[in-house]
């Protein structure tokens, strides 16, 4: 016996395909057109999200507050007194219920209260999936009240409705991604929302430098008698250049450092360059400090750590959090900036631009700015959530292998280093960066196009965001240096590179109709052999290590370092540190070591360049 349901649209979001089909089969009054539905059933728990889903489907509504309904004279309630009885009855109401015309509604025997406003505007309601499943279980159409997520008056379809329809060309249903990105329940947030916690869980298990760390045994933590017990400051902390000291992963003050990093991110968003710099320096110092801090005085005496940082430490030690971060997280403007900043292809400057245009969420960017943002940013929005998901080491290694294999198929002799946080030993990464080079100089010229085409044909690359061939175009000659960058902070070298979106094309076609593998951000950097050591160093990071390396070259050596080579600041000429009497380096690691040696720096394994 079919239950007397209203016309129902089942929202596919967060219901797996099989279950979705199964559920659809249980609904006698199912519609595939949300515009026909009286009730939208959704596997959601939040009304904001529910309303968003309606918008995404092109159904614009004005919210109706449920509590206001019974007393609001503008609303006519239909069938309210009868609903319990009707609920247990079957009838042929499903035909008439599909009409949204107000006249029809007055005669509709729908068992769920059907409501219209006094002007006859139809109301649509979104209810939790449990309403449907529980009703089915009990063979009764339950009142929706306690399952209601949202209700609103339907508005006429607008321009926007058409523009956000799923199958529009140039707009590959980006709001779908936005919708997922806007999930605000912590349990559903991507792992990357907690990248550091995630990292630590895994990295704690690695023995790393733990055993090397001198242990400081303190019997007391009271501050006045600590002065004499403070551990010695390691000599290497007296340098102001973090490239001159070991900064291992997982330092003993990691937990505090994470809070400082959060401050730094917010300072970045606030365009506080001096603050960013100061926090970066303090973070780098603490990353290299081998003892767990036990006293305010212990931080204050560290080079690069001011009394301010010491005060932050004290606050964190006492409260477990920093008020500055709590305030920032609750700040509407900063939250919006952070959302935009997390779009791949959007830096802090663009995030502020978006904000200043009045945009407040990704949907605004799509609705009002889609045509004006770059293609890279469009892709960044399309894959907003996927790009925030961390990439495990194993997958990064597999991606590297595939790239190298294609490279060598095109031209034998390629060598590759997977750089970035992977090389620094992290258990997971935000994207994959690889540096490829070949001792045969002819092999690297205009190679980036070839390898991209090969990987596109093999369906690994789904989108090529940027293809830069500047290095090849000028004959792979290291560019003479022409003064400070016009755009400070871009930090972009002139190497040939392809910034692509990657997806493993292998999947079980019997289980999925569509490739379920996550999209990943991959950078393929091609360096001519003669400067490949610089490319490897420049792309290995960490950020403050790189900053200090450039500063060291400038201040101490009057050189200009970037990933495409080293120049002399006196005459702008290229300085070759990678060849010796026997010629060029035999491999990329040797090339890297020669650059360190040539700069008068001790070579450090990348796992000790974790400067934060």
Ligand X SMILES: *[C@@H]1O[C@H](CO)[C@@H](O)[C@H](O)[C@H]1NC(C)=O
- Which residues are tagged catalytic? 312
Closer residue to ligand X, CB minimum distance, 207 or 475: 475
Piece of the chain touching ligand X by CB under 6 A; list 10-18, 310-318, 396-404, 604-612:
10-18
Backbone Cα Rg of the chain? 30
Residue partners of 20: CB distance under 8 A and separation at least 6: 10, 12
Q: Is 22 in the site for ligand X (CB under 6 A)?
A: no
Closer residue to ligand X, CB minimum distance, 106 or 442: 442
Exactly one of 8, 11, 15, 237 binds ligand X (CB under 6 A); which one?
A: 15
Helices 17-25 & 129-138 angle (0-180, nearest 10): 50
Q: Is 17 in the site for ligand X (CB under 6 A)?
A: no
Closer residue to ligand X, CB minimum distance, 26 or 188: 188
List binders of ligand X among 404-433 (CB under 6 A). none
Q: CA 244, 246, 251 angle in degrees (round to 5)?
A: 140
Picking from 245, 238, 234, the residue whose alpha carbon sits closest to that of residue 602 is 245
**Tokens of residue 297, six digits:** 């005085």
List binders of ligand X among 188-227 (CB under 6 A). 188
To ligand X, the closest distance from the beta carbon of 178 in angstroms equals 17
To ligand X, the closest distance from the beta carbon of 1 in angstroms equals 24
Picking from 231, 341, 246, the residue whose alpha carbon sits closest to that of residue 297 is 231
Exactly one of 4, 27, 37, 43 binds ligand X (CB under 6 A); which one?
A: 43
β-partners of residue 438 are: 528
Piece of the chain touching ligand X by CB under 6 A; list 12-20, 53-61, 100-108, 147-155:
12-20
Piece of the chain touching ligand X by CB under 6 A; list 15-23, 57-65, 224-232, 266-274:
15-23
Closer residue to ligand X, CB minimum distance, 49 or 521: 49
Determine the size of the site formed for ligand X (CB under 6 A): 8
Closer residue to ligand X, CB minimum distance, 205 or 442: 442
* Dist CA 44 CA 568 (whole Å): 60
Q: Environment class of residue 280 by beta-carbon count within 10 Å: exposed (0-12), middle (13-18) or buried (19+)?
A: buried
To ligand X, the closest distance from the beta carbon of 446 in angstroms equals 12
Terminal Cα-to-Cα distance of the chain (whole angstroms):
64
Picking from 349, 283, 312, the residue whose alpha carbon sits closest to that of residue 489 is 349
Closer residue to ligand X, CB minimum distance, 183 or 263: 183
Piece of the chain touching ligand X by CB under 6 A; list 11-19, 142-150, 298-306, 588-596:
11-19
Closer residue to ligand X, CB minimum distance, 526 or 537: 526
To ligand X, the closest distance from the beta carbon of 241 in angstroms equals 38
To ligand X, the closest distance from the beta carbon of 15 in angstroms equals 4
Piece of the chain touching ligand X by CB under 6 A; list 9-17, 53-61, 265-273, 540-548:
9-17
* Dist CA 367 CA 379 (whole Å): 15
List binders of ligand X among 81-110 (CB under 6 A). none
To ligand X, the closest distance from the beta carbon of 134 in angstroms equals 13
Whether the CB-CB separation of 518 and 503 falls below 8 Å is answered with: yes
β-partners of residue 590 are: none
Q: Is 19 in the site for ligand X (CB under 6 A)?
A: yes
To ligand X, the closest distance from the beta carbon of 200 in angstroms equals 26
Please identify which residue in the block is written with the tokens 């107000």.
102
Whether the CB-CB separation of 4 and 89 falls below 8 Å is answered with: yes
Picking from 495, 455, 499, 506, the residue whose alpha carbon sits closest to that of residue 473 is 495
DSSP state of 122: B
Maximum distance among all Cα pairs of the chain, rounded to whole angstroms? 96
Closer residue to ligand X, CB minimum distance, 101 or 440: 440
**Tokens of residue 308, six digits:** 């301010």
**Tokens of residue 490, six digits:** 């871009």
Q: Is 329 in the site for ligand X (CB under 6 A)?
A: no
* Dist CA 226 CA 217 (whole Å): 11
Q: How far is CA 162 from CA 37, 156, 166, 371, in A?
A: 19, 12, 9, 15
Piece of the chain touching ligand X by CB under 6 A; list 13-21, 285-293, 350-358, 540-548:
13-21
Exactly one of 16, 101, 146, 225 binds ligand X (CB under 6 A); which one?
A: 16
To ligand X, the closest distance from the beta carbon of 175 in angstroms equals 19
To ligand X, the closest distance from the beta carbon of 606 in angstroms equals 31
Whether the CB-CB separation of 520 and 492 falls below 8 Å is answered with: no
Piece of the chain touching ligand X by CB under 6 A; list 8-16, 160-168, 242-250, 312-320:
8-16
To ligand X, the closest distance from the beta carbon of 147 in angstroms equals 14
* Dist CA 221 CA 226 (whole Å): 7
Q: Reduce the DSSP state of residue 185 to 3 states and report it.
A: coil
CA quadruple 83, 84, 85, 88: dihedral, nearest 10: 110
Helices 543-557 & 273-288 angle (0-180, nearest 10): 100
Q: Which x/- pattern, by CB under 6 A, does the window 176-195 give for ligand X?
A: ------------x-------
Closer residue to ligand X, CB minimum distance, 529 or 539: 529
Please identify which residue in the block is written with the tokens 């194993």.
394
Closer residue to ligand X, CB minimum distance, 126 or 399: 126
Q: Is 440 in the site for ligand X (CB under 6 A)?
A: yes
* Dist CA 544 CA 612 (whole Å): 6
Exactly one of 91, 106, 206, 442 binds ligand X (CB under 6 A); which one?
A: 442
Residues binding ligand X (CB under 6 A): 14-16, 19, 43, 188, 440, 442
């Amino acid at each position: 016996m079919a239950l007397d349901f209203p016309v129902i649209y089942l929202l596919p979001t967060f219901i797996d395909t099989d279950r979705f089909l199964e559920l659809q089969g249980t609904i006698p009054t199912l519609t595939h057109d949300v515009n026909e539905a009286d009730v939208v059933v959704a596997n959601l728990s939040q009304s904001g999200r529910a309303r968003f889903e309606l918008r995404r489907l092109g159904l614009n509504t004005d919210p109706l507050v449920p509590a206001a309904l019974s007393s609001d004279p503008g609303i006519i309630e239909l069938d309210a007194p009868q609903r319990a009885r009707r609920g247990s009855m079957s009838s042929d109401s499903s035909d008439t219920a599909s009409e949204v015309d107000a006249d029809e509604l007055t005669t509709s025997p729908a068992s769920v209260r059907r409501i219209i406003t006094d002007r006859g505007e139809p109301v649509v309601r979104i209810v939790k999936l449990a309403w449907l499943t529980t009703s089915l279980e009990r063979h009764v159409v339950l009142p929706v009240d306690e399952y209601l997520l949202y209700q609103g008056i339907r508005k006429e379809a607008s321009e926007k409705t058409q523009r956000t329809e799923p199958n529009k060309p140039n707009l590959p249903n980006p709001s779908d991604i936005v919708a997922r990105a806007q999930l605000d329940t912590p349990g559903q947030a991507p792992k990357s929302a907690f990248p550091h916690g995630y990292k630590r869980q895994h990295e704690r298990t690695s023995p790393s430098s733990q055993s090397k760390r001198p242990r400081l045994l303190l019997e007391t933590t009271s501050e006045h008698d600590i002065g004499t017990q403070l551990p010695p400051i390691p000599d290497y902390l007296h340098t102001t250049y973090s490239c001159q000291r070991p900064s291992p992963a997982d330092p003993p003050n990691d937990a505090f450092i994470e809070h400082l990093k959060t401050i730094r991110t917010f300072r970045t968003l606030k365009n506080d360059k001096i603050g960013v710099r100061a926090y970066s320096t303090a973070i780098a110092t603490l990353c290299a400090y081998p003892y767990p801090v036990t006293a305010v005085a212990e931080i204050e005496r560290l080079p690069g750590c001011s009394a301010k940082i010491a005060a932050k430490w004290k606050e964190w030690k006492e409260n477990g959090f920093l008020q500055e971060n709590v305030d920032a997280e609750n700040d509407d403007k900063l939250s919006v900036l952070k959302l935009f900043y997390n779009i791949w292809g959007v830096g802090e400057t663009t995030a502020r631009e978006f904000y200043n245009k009045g945009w407040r969420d990704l949907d605004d960017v799509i609705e009002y700015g889609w045509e004006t943002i770059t293609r890279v940013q469009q892709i960044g929005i399309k894959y907003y959530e996927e790009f925030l998901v961390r990439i495990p080491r194993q997958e990064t290694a597999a991606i590297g292998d595939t790239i190298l294999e294609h490279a060598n198929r095109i031209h034998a002799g390629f060598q590759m280093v997977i750089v970035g946080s992977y090389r620094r030993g992290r258990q997971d990464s935000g994207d994959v960066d690889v540096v490829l080079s070949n001792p045969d100089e002819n092999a690297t010229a205009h190679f980036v196009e070839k390898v991209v085409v090969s990987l596109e044909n093999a369906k690994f690359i789904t989108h090529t965001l940027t293809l830069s061939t500047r290095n090849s175009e000028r004959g792979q000659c290291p560019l003479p240096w022409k003064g400070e960058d016009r755009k400070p902070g871009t930090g972009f070298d002139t190497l040939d590179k392809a910034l692509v979106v990657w997806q493993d094309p292998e999947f079980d076609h019997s289980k999925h109709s569509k490739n379920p593998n996550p999209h990943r951000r991959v950078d393929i950097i091609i360096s001519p052999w003669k400067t490949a050591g610089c490319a490897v160093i420049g792309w290995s990071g960490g950020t403050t290590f790189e900053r200090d390396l450039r500063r060291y070259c400038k201040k101490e050596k009057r050189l200009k370092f970037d990933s495409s080579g080293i120049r002399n600041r006196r005459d702008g000429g290229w300085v070759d540190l990678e060849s010796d009497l026997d010629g060029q380096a035999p491999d990329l690691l040797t090339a890297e070591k020669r650059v360190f040696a040539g700069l008068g720096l001790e070579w450090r394994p990348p796992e000790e360049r974790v400067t934060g």
